[in-house]
Structures are given as C-alpha cells and as structure tokens.
Amino acid sequence: MAKISSTPASRSRTLSKELIKAVKKAVKNAYAPYSKIQVGAGVLCKSDRIYSGANIENSSYSLSICAERVALFKALTEGEKKFKILLVYSPQIDFILPCGACLQVISEFAPDIIVATMNNNTEFRFHPFSTLLTRAFVI
C-alpha cells in the first residue's frame, strides 16, 4: 500500500499500487474523440478485487458512458456488492470528479464509498461520497 499525504484530509488514507496501476492502464483505453477528455476509474471492493473502466463516447452523446460507471457495473456484474474506494483519473483534468449521472448511480450501489481523485503527479484528494451528492434522487 502506498501512503498518500497530498492533503490534510488524506494523510490517514492508503491506496494500493495495484489500484493506481489499474486506473492508469484503463485510461489508455478511453475513447473520447468528442470531449478529448480521457478518464479512467477503478473500484476496490471489500473482497479486495479491483475493477477498472474507461469512458467511451458516442456521437450520440447521451449514449456515452463514464469510466466510473463502467468500473462499478463490471464489479456489480461479477457479484460484488460492497465497495471500499473509487479512484478517478484524467490526464487532462487534475482531480476530476464524477459527473451527476455517475454520482446518482453510485448513490444506489455504493453510498458509503470513498471517492479518490488523482492528478498527473499521482497526488490524491479524498471525498466521502456523502459530500459529493447531498440529495440523491430516491423513490
């Protein structure tokens, strides 16, 4: 585990080198010809398995999918139900955060997750999910 201390709030948090490596590898598979913003994400499950994903855009923009949802959906389709941390990275945007659609999906499947964001210097910021989406849509 790599100790991360880029911000006061993150000093006590750790991220595995495997999660960081998976996210950096995933971002290389992003397909972003329209926004030019490549995003990679990885979710570390309570089982210690890691699932990663990249954003995939489509000319019909609403049919695009974000890296965060790809990673989470891959985990869910493999039977994972408990999650520790979601790491998000873009080479174009320092400390990129999940969009509103991703936050809404996360609220349903992983409301207690920690969202970590990473910049090109492999520095991190950590956000309890509850601070990112304070009023999720619920039925």
User: Domain segments of the chain: what residues?
Assistant: 2-132
- For the annotated catalytic residues, the residue numbers are 68
What CA–CA distances, in Å, run from 126 to 15, 53, 79, 97, 111?
Answer: 11, 19, 26, 10, 15
pLDDT at 14: 61
**Count of beta carbons in the 10 Å neighbourhood of residue 110:** 23
Helices (H), 28-112: 67-77, 100-109
pLDDT at 138: 85
Mean pLDDT calculated for residue range 52-81: 97
Q: What is the pLDDT of residues 37-60, one digit of tens each?
A: 999 999 999 999 999 999 999 999
Predicted TM-score (pTM) of the model is 0.89
**CATH dotted code for 2-132:** 3.40.140.10
Q: What is the pLDDT of residues 93-114, one digit of tens each?
A: 999 999 999 999 999 999 999 9
Q: Specify whether the CB–CB gap between 125 and 10 falls below 8 A.
A: yes
User: 4: pLDDT confidence band, cut at 50, 70 and 90?
Assistant: very low
To the nearest whole number, what is the mean pLDDT of the chain? 91
What CA–CA distances, in Å, run from 103 to 12, 28, 29, 39, 134?
Answer: 24, 23, 22, 15, 10
The whole-angstrom separation of Cα 2 and Cα 92 is 23
